[in-house]
Chains A and B, each alone.
Chain A
Amino acid sequence: MCNDLENSKFRSNNRDLQQIEKQIDRRHFLKKTSLGLGALALGNLLGAEKMWAAGNQEKMTEKILETYNKNRLGLPHHLPKAKRVIYLFQSGGPSQMDMFDYKPKLSDMFGKELPDSVIGGTRLTGMSGSQSTLPIAPSTFKFKQYGESRAWVSEVMPYTAEIVDDLCFIKGMQTDQINHTPAITFMQTGHQLPGRPSIGSWLSYGLGSDNQNLPTFITLVSKNGKGQPLNANLWGNGFLPTEHQGVQFRSGKDPVLYLTDPENYDGKDRRKMLDYLSHLNDLQTDSYGDPEIQARMAQYEMAFKMQTSVPEVTDISDEPEHIFEMYGKDSRNAGTYAANCLMARKLLEKGVKFVQLYHQGWDQHNYCPGGVKNNCRKTDQPTAALIKDLKQRGMLEDTLVVWGGEFGRTVYSQGQLTKTNYGRDHHPAAFTMWMAGAGVKPGFSFGETDDFSYNVVKDPVHVHDFHATLLHLFGVDHERLTFKHQGRRYRLTDVHGHVVKDLLT
C-alpha cells in the first residue's frame, strides 16, 4: 500500500474532496493567475537549467544537498559564540534595588520625598502617580560583595551570590513600556503590540534546528503562577511560518498536549496515516501553494517524533540524587521553577536551541520585601544550580543564559511606607538583568544607575540593544535578519538596536 502511494501519482478519489479542489474562489483565482504567470515563466527558466543538468544527475543531487546543509538565508553572518540559549524570564518586574542594584545612600533617606530633580518629568503609572507623597523606601535587605568580581548581591539570594563570577550584570537596562503586557511583549518580540515573532521564533527561523526530534523553541512556565497572565503570543511566531512558534511543555502527565494516543488506539498505523495525510496535503500545496500547509505537515511529523522523544526527555528518573539536591527539593515536583530549570538543561542537552522559562509573581506593588523574598526562595537556588550544572558539563561554553524581567521597580514606596514594609511600582527607566555563558564577560558589571536606582547615569542598554546583542552572539547581524510581511521587511529590532560590544568577550 505504501509503495503504491509512492509509485503512482496520487489523486484524491473521494468525490467530496475533488469537489473542494475544484472550488477556487476569487481571491485564489487572482493569486494563482497573477503569480501563476510569473511562476510559469520561472518554471521555464528552471526547466532549461534542468535540461542542462540532465546529463549530470549528480549535479542535481548536489544542488538538493546544498540547500539541505546550507542555510537558506545566508546565516550566520559571522562566527557565533552561542549555540543555545536559556532565557529565565522573571515576569512582573523584579525589584532591582532589593536584589542587585545596591544603593547604600538610601538608608539615610528613609521616608524622605523623592526629589523632583530625580523624577525629571518621567511618567509614573496611574497606580502611584496620584499619590500625595513619594517617600523613598530603602531596601530592608542587607547587601554584601561576593566573588572575585566583588558583585553586590542581597541576602535573599545566597545561591546566586555563589556564582557571581560567572555572571555579566547589565545594571542600566531600559525599556519603553510601563505596564506588564506591553512591556513583556516588547521584551519578547521587540514590539509592544502582540503580533510580532518572539526572539526564539526569529532564531528558529534564521538558524534552523540542531536536532531532528524536538522543537527548536520550547517554553516552560512555572505552575501555579499568580499575578499578571502570560499569553501564548509571547512565544508565538507572529508572521513567521508556524513551525517556528515556541512549543509549551506543561507539568503533569502530558508535557505536550494531545501527544499521547487516544484511548483504545494502539498507534500502530500512525505512520501510514501520516503518509496518506501528507499526500493529501501535497495535493493541497500543489493547488493552493500556501506555505502554511507545509508548516502544518512539518508539525505533524514533529509531533509524531515527539511521541517518543518527549517521554524520553521529560523522564528525570535517571538524574542522580546530588543533582536534585543542587536544584533544590522543588526540582522533584514537576512544573515548579526548579523542575523547569532541570528540564531546561535536559532539553538543551538534546539540542533544543531556545528554551524559554517564565516565572510569574514579581509584581510587588505591596509587601515588596516579603514578595521578593518569597520569589527568591523559589528561584534563587535553581537558577544558580542551572549555571553550575551547565558549567560543569562544559555547556556554558556555548550556551547563553539570560535572567531578567520586563522592567524594574520604583525607589519610592507605593502605598504606605513602614520600617519593614513598602510597595514598589513599575519602573521602566532603569533595571537590572544578567547574562552568563557563551561570549559574554564573566564576573562583569556594565552600566550604573544614580543613587536612587531611578535613572541610568552610565552605559544604558535599551531592550533593542539587548536583542541586537543576543542575535550577535548567535552570529546574526540584527539588521540583516528580516522577514517581508504585508509589504514591509521586519526585524526583531525594528529600526533600532546597537550591539553592546562591551558585554562581549
Chain B
Amino acid sequence: MNEVADIFIFLGRFHPLIVHLPIGFIMFAFLLELLSKWKNLKELRAAIPFALIFSFLSAVVACTLGYMLSMTGEYDGPMLDGHFWFGIATTIITLVAWLISIEKIKINALQGFKANISTLTLLVVLISITGHYGGNLTHGSEYLTEYAPFGEKPKEKVKPKSIEEVAMFEHIVLPILEEKCTSCHNPSKKKGGLALHDMESILKGGKEGLAVAPGDVENSELIHRVTMNPHDKGFMPPEGKTPLTEEEIKLISFWIASNKTDFNFKLAESPNKDEVLKIALAYLHLEGGAADKMPTVQPVDSLYIGELIGKGFTIRELVYNANLFDVVLPENTAKTSEEAQKLLEDLSKIKNNILWLSLEKNNLTDQHLTTLASFNNLRQLKLNKNNISNNGVKSLQSLPNLKALGLYGTAVDDECLTTLSAFKKLEKVYLWQTKVSPEKIKTFRSKNPKPALVAGINN
C-alpha cells in the first residue's frame, strides 16, 4: 500500500464529524415535508429546497472526506464497500430530491406518487443503511446488539477453574486484548493495519511491522507501544481510553517471551511460570493470587466492640467496613488465668471477624488455646510470653488460615516441631527463648521448607 499523505488522513478524520450535517438536513427536510402535509402548513414547504441543497453539498464534502479516510487502509472489507456505495447513492438521490423539490425535473411516471415525499422517504432509508454501515466500521459490528434485550447473548467464556487449565493466550492474553484493544483493532476497523482479535491476525502484525515478535519482547511493537511514555504520539491505547495495567503488560510480555513455537501453551507447563504465576492467579481471581482474598463475615454489633474495648482490648478495623479486625490484648491485662479465660470467651463472640490477634503475656495456658481453635479466620496469632506448651499448640492445628504464629518465650519444646509441620498454611513460627533446641531446628529446616522457624539471634 502506498503511503497516504498526512494531510489526507488529517482531513479524512473529519469525516465522522461532517457526515452528521447531511443526515441532519435530510431529516429536517423530511420533517418539514410531513408537517406541511399533515398540519397543512404550506409556508414550511419553502424551506425544503434549502435543506436539501445544503444536505447535498455537505454530503459531497462528507463523501470526499470519507474517501480520504478509507485511503488509510484502517477500514476494510465488504462493510466499507457497502458504506461507500450507499453513501454515494444517498448523495445522488439528495441531488435528485432537490431538483424535484424546485420542480426542475418532473418525472411523469411518478405523477401519482407524490414525488417529494417518496424521494425523501427513500433518502431516510438510505441514510439509515449508510449510517449503520458507518457505525459498524467505527464501533465494530457487535456494538449495536451486544446489550440488546432480546436475541442471543454472546456465549459466556468458560473460565478456567484451576491453574492447570489456564491457557496463556486463550484465558489471559486474548481477554486483555479484547478489553483494551480490539475496539479499534478488529477485522472491520484495522487501525494501523492491525487487528488483534485472533491469533492469526496478531501474528500477522500491522503497518509498523510485527506486533508480536515470537520470543522477543524488545522487538514486539505491541509491547513497545503500551510501555512508551504516555505523552508520546504513538502510545496505546490512545488518550481517553484505559491504558493497560502493569500486571497486564507483564502477562502479555511473558506470553511473548515464552513463545517460540507453541502459542497455545498452558501456563502450568511453562518452565518460567513462577515469574507471573501470582499475577496470573490474581487476574483470573483464582486462589493463591497476589491479592489476598478476604473472608466475608457477618458485621459485628458496634456496641459489643465498644464493650470489648472497655474490657481492655485494642480493636482496629483492618479494612474499612470489612468487619475484619486486628485485636490486641495489651500485656498483663489479664492478671490471672481465670481472667484470661473470661476475656477469651467474650472475644469468641466475634471470633470469625478477627484476622490478627495478639495475646502476649496475658497468663494464657494450654486450656485457653482450645477456645482459640475455633477462630477460623486467624492469620496472625501472637501468644508470646505465655505459659503454653505443645498440647496447647496442637489444638491450634485446626486453624485453616493461620500464617504466622508467635510462640517466643513460651514453654514449648522439641516435640512442638512435629506439631508445627502439620499446620496447613503456616509460614512462620517464632521460637526464641523456648526450649526448642538449635539442633532440632536445624534438622527441621532441612526437612521442611515451611514453616520457617525464627529462633534467637544465633539460630
A75 to B317 CA separation, bound complex (whole angstroms): 9
**Contact partners of A74 in chain B: CB under 8 A:** 320-321
Closest A residue to B320 using CB positions: A74
Stretch from A60-68, A101-109, A255-263, A293-301 at the B interface: A60-68
Of the residues A68, A75, A394, A501, contact of B306 by C-beta under 8 Å: A68
B380 near A392 with CB under 8 A, answer no
Chain B min CB distance to A206 (Å):
11
Indicate if A26 sits at the interface (CB-CB under 8 A): no
Indicate if B44 sits at the interface (CB-CB under 8 A): no
**Contact partners of B169 in chain A: CB under 8 A:** none
Of the residues A79, A391, A392, A397, contact of B319 by C-beta under 8 Å: A79
**Which chain A residues (336-360) contact chain B, with CB distance < 8 Å?**
351
Indicate if B428 sits at the interface (CB-CB under 8 A): yes
Q: Mark B430-447, 1 if CB is under 8 A from A, else 0.
A: 101100000000000000
A324 to B101 CA separation, bound complex (whole angstroms): 104
A393 near B317 with CB under 8 A, answer no
Tell me whether A398 and B356 are in contact in the complex, defined as CB-CB below 8 angstroms, given that A58-B303, A83-B326 are known contacts: yes
Closest B residue to A72 using CB positions: B320
Determine which residue in A66, A75, A394 has the highest number of CB atoms from chain B within 10 A of its CB, and name it.
A394
**Contact partners of B319 in chain A: CB under 8 A:** 76-80, 475
**Contact partners of B428 in chain A: CB under 8 A:** 397
Indicate if A70 sits at the interface (CB-CB under 8 A): yes
A68 to B308 CA separation, bound complex (whole angstroms): 13
B432 near A66 with CB under 8 A, answer no
Indicate if B160 sits at the interface (CB-CB under 8 A): no
**Which chain A residues (191-224) contact chain B, with CB distance < 8 Å?**
208, 210-211
Of the residues A76, A326, A392, A398, contact of B408 by C-beta under 8 Å: A392
Indicate if A305 sits at the interface (CB-CB under 8 A): no
A66 near B302 with CB under 8 A, answer yes
A326 to B319 CA separation, bound complex (whole angstroms): 37
**Contact partners of A83 in chain B: CB under 8 A:** 326, 356
Indicate if B148 sits at the interface (CB-CB under 8 A): no
**Contact partners of B302 in chain A: CB under 8 A:** 62, 65-66, 68-70
A70 near B317 with CB under 8 A, answer yes
B306 near A71 with CB under 8 A, answer no
Tell me whether A69 and B320 are in contact in the complex, defined as CB-CB below 8 angstroms, given that A83-B326, A392-B432 are known contacts: no
Of the residues B317, B320, B382, B454, contact of A392 by C-beta under 8 Å: B454
Q: Mark B291-316, 1 if CB is under 8 A from A, else 0.
A: 01010000001110110010000111
23 A-B residue pairs with CB within 8 Å: A62-B301, A62-B302, A65-B302, A66-B302, A69-B305, A69-B315, A70-B321, A75-B320, A77-B319, A79-B294, A79-B324, A79-B355, A210-B316, A351-B314, A351-B330, A392-B432, A392-B455, A392-B457, A394-B384, A394-B454, A397-B406, A475-B319, A501-B246
Residues of B at the A interface (CB closer than 8 Å) are: 246, 290, 292, 294, 301-303, 305-306, 309, 314-321, 324, 326, 328, 330, 355-356, 380, 382, 384, 404, 406, 408, 428, 430, 432-433, 454-457
- List 15 additional contacts besides A62-B302, A66-B302, A393-B430; criterion CB under 8 Å: A68-B302, A69-B305, A69-B316, A69-B317, A70-B321, A74-B320, A79-B292, A79-B294, A79-B324, A210-B316, A211-B330, A388-B457, A394-B430, A397-B430, A475-B319
